[in-house]
Amino acid sequence: MEALLKLEKVQRVLSLMGSRGLSGSGSDSGASDGGGGDRFLAHFLLFLVQPFDSLSMEKKALLVSDLLRKVNVDTLEEVRHLGSIECTSGEGRIIPASTYISLGDPLQPNKKLKLHAEKLTVQEAPMVGFHAMRRANSTIEDFCRSYFMFHGLDVNKAQSIFKFLPVLCFTESYIYQLDDLNEYNLQMVPGNDASLTVLERENRTSNEASLTGMLNVLDDLLQRQGLMTDQLRNELKSGIQYWSLERKLCQALSRNDKISIEDVMEAIHLKSFDYRVLNLLMYRLTGQQVNEVHMEFLSISEFLVEISDDLYDYEDDVMNNTFNILRMFAAIYGPSEAPKMLAKCIGEAEEKYERFSKKLDPTLSGSYWRRCEEATKEGGKMSGHAYGTWNIPPLIRDEEFFRLERSNKRDASAITIT
């Protein structure tokens, strides 16, 4: 969320620069850098307006103007070198200058924090917001109740949960935070690429790069904790693949472009990557080898659960223009054939689920079956995970009209309440 707010600030400053003729994109120095020059200038302007002692805006502008006339590349190189010099802490330990970081704090905006050399720098330190933690809460609860049994843990014993909760909760919250950024991208940039302004294309590219960069930061944190494996890293990367496919597919729907069934099936399989990330973390945290039979069985279960969730959330996903397998099937096969094709897909997955469930220990299989029944009842769903009746909702033939109609109803309701 913090990264998203920063991007919004930069976007507003870029717009202001364009309206005031301050953009450097048309100059020789900025024409070929993909807008990097303008972004640099926008960040610089944001830096200038930050409070510093008692200096006024006018004073800072004069100081910078005078300094820039005297500074050259050699001076900047010297400054860069000085910034990497190690310094001594009050306790006598040598600490690299890069580990003195400034953290945003609502009460103390310029609060300084010193960290030891092995700790994270500000660029490397992953942070999560309260909203992301709230979103992650139900997922963590479901994961503990559904997956702990595969690690020989009793979810009813508090110590089983709290021993692993910090890593699981932080990781899932961080992923939800990235998911928020991806959904922002979906809503921010509808329509055809050709119709986008340079600023919009630049902003989208910046946001997509931010997702990858921020996920790399989580990768680094888990690496430092001794939890990272190649398999876990691949699952984290599959999150980037999913978000990329979601943007591709949902923006294609907005433009009435064709989409491929291969992309749709890959996306629905990738969608549960966060559960697989958490599960692989549990193997590391408990010191056990990954059980590939369990992982394969759970991946089929995850596939069925994702379809169930998509059917339950169908109208909301249409409203938010987010990935939903029923939306995709309707676009590919048409309103009349889509339910049949999806029912066939569900039937094949259920058969595969039954085959793999027989490979599990009977006690474990029974426990998981009961847990899935509980989850289905708690969710208030008629369909889900090989139990009950699959209920495919009526298809929305005109999504744009549906969004407009529902928005109008919300506005009318809000006016009535006030």
Which residue from 80, 92, 108, 89 is spatially nearest to 100, judged by alpha carbons?
89
Reported as a single tens digit per residue, the pLDDT across 31-68 is 445 567 888 888 888 888 888 777 787 888 888 888 88
Q: Which tokens go with 31?
A: 């024409």
The answer to whether residue 180 is domain-embedded is yes
Q: Are residues 33 and 78 in the same domain?
A: no
Please name the residue that has the structure tokens 């169930």.
Answer: 308
Identify the pLDDT of residue 113.
35
Residue 319 clears pLDDT 90, i.e. is over it: yes
Q: Are residues 319 and 359 in the same domain?
A: yes
Q: Are residues 304 and 202 in the same domain?
A: yes
CATH of the domain at 147: 1.10.600
Q: DSSP characters for 254-275? A: HTT----HHHHHHHHHHTTHHH
Q: Are residues 204 and 250 in the same domain?
A: yes
Reported as a single tens digit per residue, the pLDDT across 239-264 is 999 999 999 999 999 999 999 999 99
Q: How confident is the model at residue 209 (pLDDT cuts 50, 70, 90)?
A: low
Local structure of 148: helix, strand or coil: helix
Identify the pLDDT of residue 94.
39
Q: Which tokens go with 318?
A: 């249409």
Q: Are residues 44 and 105 in the same domain?
A: no
Q: Are residues 43 and 77 in the same domain?
A: no
Q: Are residues 23 and 157 in the same domain?
A: no
Q: Are residues 75 and 113 in the same domain?
A: yes
Q: Are residues 52 and 76 in the same domain?
A: no
The answer to whether residue 344 is domain-embedded is yes
Q: Are residues 93 and 220 in the same domain?
A: no
The answer to whether residue 211 is domain-embedded is yes
Look at 79 and 353; give whichever has higher pLDDT.
353
Task: Give pTM, 2 decimals.
Answer: 0.67
The answer to whether residue 119 is domain-embedded is yes
Length of the chain: 418
Identify the pLDDT of residue 415.
64
Q: Are residues 270 and 232 in the same domain?
A: yes
Please state the rounded mean pLDDT for residues 13-33.
62
Strands (E), 82-210: 86-88, 94-96, 100-102, 112-114
The answer to whether residue 366 is domain-embedded is yes
Reported as a single tens digit per residue, the pLDDT across 258-294 is 999 999 999 999 999 999 999 999 999 999 999 999 9
Please name the residue that has the structure tokens 């169908």.
Answer: 314
The answer to whether residue 63 is domain-embedded is no
The answer to whether residue 62 is domain-embedded is no
Residue 87 is part of which domain span? 71-123
Q: Are residues 35 and 179 in the same domain?
A: no
What's the total number of domains in the chain? 3
Question: What is the C-alpha to C-alpha distance for residues 8 and 2, in angstroms, rounded to an integer?
Answer: 10
Residue 201 clears pLDDT 70, i.e. is over it: no
Look at 85 and 286; give whichever has higher pLDDT.
286
The answer to whether residue 219 is domain-embedded is yes
Which residue from 290, 179, 175 is spatially nearest to 227, judged by alpha carbons?
290
